[in-house]
Structure 1
Amino acid sequence: MNILHVAAECYPAAKTGGLGDILGSLPKYLNKLGVNSSVVMPKYKMPWFQKQKFSSVYGGNFYMGSENIYFHIEQVEDDPLGFSLYTIDIPGKYDRDGVYAGSDGHFFHDEVERMVSFNRAFLDWLSTWTDHPDVVHCHDHHTGLIPFMMKYCPRYSGLEKLPSVFTIHNERYQGAFGWDRSFLLPGFDSWKSGMLDWNNTINPLASAVKCAWQVTTVSHSYMEELKVNSFGLEGLFQSEAFKSRGILNGIDYDYWNPSDDEMIKFNLKKSVPSYKLNNKKSLFEGTELNPKVPTISFIGRLAYEKGADLVPMLIDHCLSYNMPAQWVVLGTGDKSMEHHLKQLSKRFPSQSLIYIAYDEALAHQIYASSDFIIMPSRVEPCGLNQMYAMRYGTVPIVHNIGGLKDSVTDIEANDGSGIKVEHLSINDLAHAVYRAIKAFEDKKSFNALRKRIMELDFSWDHSAQSYIKMYQLLK
């Protein structure tokens, strides 16, 4: 079986979040299970691409409105990611130093043109294949027009019977644009325009849900949540439920391995408490923080949907009431949230360590050093941080939604793995912190909890098997 994934991100080539992590892992694990998987993505002007050698595969052009779009398909030589990676080079569209925004932080203003040109270039190339893949697997709205074009654009009539899968990693980003820009698309029968439309706009995400043969989300609970809260698409997800399913993401256990992770100072040998304490001492070197005090971390985008606005308020509340815990935060994003966190580090230098940065290596060190990680997300389709944390012996404190609901069991149960919060109030979150501190103080039970969560299996092996079963239904 041959699966061709199409996405805007793929780690380590280009990543802004979980989408990149998943595209860098799932194809590798599918290959290990005997399912030949490749990835197609745009070619950005970013450091990883500049270090690679490429082989030319195909070149072509098409008119997008009055603009003549030239593109080249290239394959990365030697398969450094464990699977074949193809890039689409579209001069003037993707030869930039960022995925969605430049290094100056400003978002690009031609996202529609970039998205449509990438989709069309991919299908122009795929149309020339004599031996098509068994499934085209599209990820998020950046590739959402592909299932429609395969089915209803005469230019791609040879692809209409080729199965497509569409995976939603975050439905909040739908890529909608006005019908006045429909000229960007290849020709299609006007009576099929309803397969593009949602709320009088061309909505790539909604179109993919309508047109793909199968629709997946990255956790079962998230799929159920979309039926009641999906920014206006609730009725669509209800009507397409017959072909939809949630498959919980996994993580790459080769990359996320505390026993041989080169990004942490002290690898896990025999003693989990010693591994944790030594990493804490390393992280806290040169600071006023105490390695013996329970440490709670937040790692991620400083964004409203991640509940990051609650983090400074929670830290302020807990430290003002002298709760015996200290805090480590790593992230960038909303400038007001960054400002509040910086102010906290000045007020509580002995109990808070704030990094306003994106730093992959530092994130690994924080996972290895923390006792708890907090995820007060308002939206969490799957969540990977809780899985990374548990792999490194760090207990998750999570809002009970989406993939967090599916992957964390409250420690009230005998086999519990974390602390769950039902409501995102500061009082409820502070109570979760209180529970965490009490759990930490019972050393015997806490060490058993650490050992238990480190033995949980969140690898891609199980998730990849679920995808394979779905692919087989389409043959």
Structure 2
Amino acid sequence: MKIIHVSAECYPVAKVGGLADVVGSLPKYLRADEVDASVIMPKYGNEWMANHNFKNELKAQAPFGDLPFDFSIQREKKDTLGFPLYVTDIPHRFDRAGIYVDQESGVPYSDEFERFLSFQVGVLDWINQMDKKPDVIHCHDHHSALIPFMVSQCYRYGDLKHIPTVLTVHNGEYQGVFSHEKQHLIPDFDPKNGGLLDWDGKLNCLAAGLKTCWRITTVSPSYMKELSYNSHGLEELFRSEQQKSRGIINGIDTEVWNPDTDPMIAHHYNKKKTAKGKRKNKKELCEYFGLDPQYPTFSFIGRLVREKGADLLPDLFRTFLESTQSVNFVVLGTGDRALHYQFEAMSDRFVGYFDATLDYNESLAHQIYAGSDFMVMPSRVEPCGLNQMYAMRYGTVPIVRNIGGLKDSVVDIGKSDGYGITFHDFSIEAAAEAIQRGINLYQQGNKMAGTRKKIMNLDFSWNASAKEYIKLYHELIR
């Protein structure tokens, strides 16, 4: 069984969020089950691409409105990711360091539609000339969601109509919405079917993919339900397509996220040496941020954006920093500039209790997972969430809002089988109560140790989820 994953991101090649982690790990687990899985993505002008060697598989030209474009398909020579990685090299489209935004200004690229449409056209032209075509084309988010439309509608890809397409929605917040004036850039199709591209009077890439793919998946069962009543205008479409939809919770790559072997943390440890390992790593973490390791340490890692609930954090943390309780707070992330200013001011005001690194730093993220006592995730929207799984893998207790994949992966310690702390309302009061419960747990040494032991024994690997995808592929092929 041959599966091609089409994605804008893939860890460690190019990462903005959880999409990269999924695409960088799921194919490895599929291959362990004897599935011929590979990934194709754009060739960005970033450091990873520059430091790896590629060989050409195809050089060609494809239509793009009135002007064709040149592209090449290349394969990473050594398969260092554990699966074949292919890239689409399109001059002047992707030979930039940024993925979605200019790294200097932080402004999104103005040619987003042209970039990702040309990528998808290049991918389909490559598949079109293959002798052994894939059994399934698995698309990820709106950047590849026009592929199901083009496979089913464009004359150029008539020979591919029989190939099943899967579209996984990692985040329905982003849909790829553009003016219909750009529609002429898509390879020719019957104009009477142009309505498949439309949603609410605009060309909506995600909507087009949802309408025309063979199966829709989302990254957790709860998020699948949530999209039917909260998906930025696509609620009716998700409801109408529910018969071909399925929620499959993400896993994590337990080879990358392993405190016993992780090269990015200061001290290795495992389930048998958790207390000592956590203590040593917490000391390193607190020294880095200038904090006192005797106090409970709460961390946030992620994009500083509205959907992650990051705007709640300044007032939430100040609730405790301005109290008589001694608590440490750490923030790692980048995003909303207004939040950057607030966190910088808090770092100056609450020296020794709060600090923030306003950057993307993968190595520091690993050390934070290893050295923290608690990981805070107050998300407004969380399709699956991986940070809570990474945290538990390292014995760090998650404090999460009971939504999406967080709801599916964290059970509150108030229940007999619980192992995390959850809250329901998106409010300072609800989140503060959850953090206070964390402080109380920390002060109960034996219970805290037992909770750490429990979460480190949980299995959040891709093993079960990969089997769900394999089952889905077999259903489509049959």
- Cα contact 1:315–1:327 (8 A) shared by 2: yes
Give runs of aligned pairs for residues 238-387 of structure 1, distance below 5 A.
Answer: 238-269=239-270, 270-285=272-287, 288-387=290-389
Letter in 1 for 2:420: G
Partner of 2:66: 66
SS of structure 1 residue aligned to 2:388: helix
How far apart in 2 are the matches of 1:124 and 1:286? 50
Q: How many Å apart are 1:106 and its aligned residue?
A: 2.5
SS of structure 2 residue aligned to 1:55: strand
Partner of 1:126: 127
In the alignment, is residue 43 of structure 1 matched against residue 43 of structure 2? yes
SS of structure 2 residue aligned to 1:216: strand
Letter in 1 for 2:254: Y
Give runs of aligned pairs for residues 175-214 of structure 1, distance below 5 A.
Answer: 175-214=176-215
Give runs of aligned pairs for residues 5-16 of structure 1, distance below 5 A.
Answer: 5-16=5-16
How far apart in 2 are the matches of 1:174 and 1:82? 30
Q: Which one is further off, 315-324 or 9-18?
A: 315-324
Root mean square deviation of aligned Cα: 1.0
Give runs of ≥4 in structure 1 deviating > 3 Å: none
Cα distance per residue 1:222-275 (max 9 Å; x no partner): 000000111111111111000000000000000000011111111105321111
Partner of 1:90: 90
Listed as ranges, the gaps of 5+ residues in structure 2 are none
Q: How many Å apart are 1:78 and its aligned residue?
A: 1.4
Listed as ranges, the gaps of 5+ residues in structure 1 are none
How far apart in 1 are the matches of 2:125 and 2:290? 59
- Cα contact 1:38–1:84 (8 A) shared by 2: yes
SS of structure 1 residue aligned to 2:253: coil
SS of structure 2 residue aligned to 1:114: helix
Partner of 1:137: 138
Q: Which one is further off, 324-333 or 447-456?
A: 324-333
- Give TM-score scaled by structure 1 length: 0.99
Structure 1 counterpart of 2:430, from 425, 428, 431? 428
Partner of 1:172: 173
How far apart in 2 are the matches of 1:455 and 1:334? 36
How far apart in 2 are the matches of 1:323 and 1:464? 44
SS of structure 2 residue aligned to 1:80: coil
- Give TM-score scaled by structure 2 length: 0.98
SS of structure 1 residue aligned to 2:5: strand
Q: How many Å apart are 1:202 and its aligned residue?
A: 1.4
How far apart in 1 are the matches of 2:345 and 2:94? 38
How far apart in 2 are the matches of 1:323 and 1:334? 29
How far apart in 1 are the matches of 2:183 and 2:429? 49
Give runs of aligned pairs for residues 399-438 of structure 1, distance below 5 A.
Answer: 399-438=401-440
Q: How many Å apart are 1:445 and its aligned residue?
A: 1.0
Q: How many Å apart are 1:286 and its aligned residue?
A: 6.1
Q: Which one is further off, 316-325 or 185-194?
A: 316-325
SS of structure 1 residue aligned to 2:68: strand
Q: How many Å apart are 1:324 and its aligned residue?
A: 3.0
How far apart in 2 are the matches of 1:169 and 1:70? 30
- Cα contact 1:324–1:437 (8 A) shared by 2: no
How far apart in 2 are the matches of 1:169 and 1:219? 9
- Cα contact 2:346–2:355 (8 A) shared by 1: no
How far apart in 1 are the matches of 2:146 and 2:279? 50
How far apart in 2 are the matches of 1:292 and 1:415? 29
SS of structure 1 residue aligned to 2:310: coil
Q: How many Å apart are 1:68 and its aligned residue?
A: 2.4
How far apart in 2 are the matches of 1:445 and 1:168? 38
- Cα contact 2:165–2:213 (8 A) shared by 1: yes
Q: How many Å apart are 1:88 and its aligned residue?
A: 0.5
Letter in 1 for 2:93: K
The percent identity for this pair of structures is 50
Letter in 1 for 2:360: Y
